[in-house]
Amino acid sequence: MPLGKWAALVAMAVVMETTAAFPSSLLIKNEDDSITWSCSGSPGEQVEWKWNGNRLKDSGQELVINNLDIPYTGNYSCWAGPRLLQSFYVVMRMKHTYFFKTEGTKEEPAITCWAPSYNGTLNCSWNSQNAAIFLARLKHQDTEAELCSTEVALPGNSRVQVQLKNCSFCSYAEETPVTPLVLVLKGLSRDGGYSEVEKTFFLWDVVKPDAPAYLNITGRKVSWAPPASWDLPTTYFPLQYSLRLESASGRHENFLLELITEQKWHKAQIRCQDPLIQSSWSSWQEWKK
């Protein structure tokens, strides 16, 4: 049964299923593409097609979509009675600016990633343009083997932040040979629009430790602890610390801990970084008096 643009008003009147999770089987097409599917069961079985759970009348074994447009995206399935024979989710390819806010003259998606350590956790954020479900996958370049993935659903124009956990990358796997990581972001809107972007980076370029676990000051004695998220032992994953002091008059001074001299201060706070790769500094710990 062919579906054409003449049926757009009818198609738009059908209530689409809410996509609770990112579909596992996507059929990605361009606007105005024409698509033909065939489906058959056992000899003598009658088959029918459904769209978003709604029976397509007189569909038979062959289903045709002429001039694909947003109203015809969604979940298509072929049935022989109660038995599901095949199923796929049709989406229409959109420009990445439909989902991702951009930066710079090249209009690259503005995606920021940072890792609090080397233990397999990665945080990424971006600004979403439209309500969508996003699938974030991490892999090594030149391979499709997934290191970790996660999904997030956004109601509309907002800041997105995802955390990928238990990523199976080695701290120094990128070094020999030089193999960067690739973050693959897929966006799917409720109306069936789809876009995919990638961000390539090395782990050492995005390491930013969390703030130190605590800072104690007793007289002239200063004690601290590495962030709970940092890799142990610290002899193998060392950190260096910077102390910021504030005088009673409000004047600030920053010191690496081994360079601190005897002087009076009103309060202090601490931060840390990986000195081996000169990572970004962590955020400052809260002020301590």
The answer to which of 9-13, 62-66, 73-77, 223-227 has the lowest mean pLDDT is 9-13
Nearest C-alpha neighbor of 228 from the set 216, 214, 241 = 214
Nearest C-alpha neighbor of 64 from the set 1, 123, 130 = 1
Higher-confidence residue of 60 and 181: namely 181
Provide the 10 A C-beta neighbour count for residue 278. Answer: 11
Rg of the chain, C-alpha, whole Å: 27
Q: Considering the entire predicted model, what is its pTM? A: 0.78
**Segment 203-222 mean pLDDT:** 85
Which tens digit of pLDDT belongs to each residue from 231-266? 877 777 889 999 888 877 788 888 887 655 445 667
Distance in angstroms (rounded) separating the CA atoms of residues 135 and 139:
13
Is the pLDDT at 4 greater than 80? The verdict is no
Helix H or strand E segment including 270: strand 267-273
- Chain-centre distance of CA 130, in angstroms? 15
What is the CATH number assigned to the segment(s) 96-206?
A: 2.60.40.10
Please state, for a pLDDT cut of 70, what percent of the chain lies above it: 86
Could you tell me how many helices (H) and strands (E) the chain has, helices first? 2, 22
Higher-confidence residue of 168 and 7: namely 168
Q: Where in the chain is the domain with CATH 2.60.40.10?
A: 26-93, 96-206
Which tens digit of pLDDT belongs to each residue from 134-191? 999 999 888 888 999 999 887 777 888 899 998 876 655 545 457 889 999 999 988 8
Distance in angstroms (rounded) separating the CA atoms of residues 102 and 284:
29
Paired tokens of 160: 């997105």
At the topology level, CATH places domain 26-93 in Immunoglobulin-like (2.60.40)
pLDDT value at position 124?
Answer: 94
Helix (H, G, I), strand (E, B) or coil at 21: coil
Distance in angstroms (rounded) separating the CA atoms of residues 160 and 152:
8
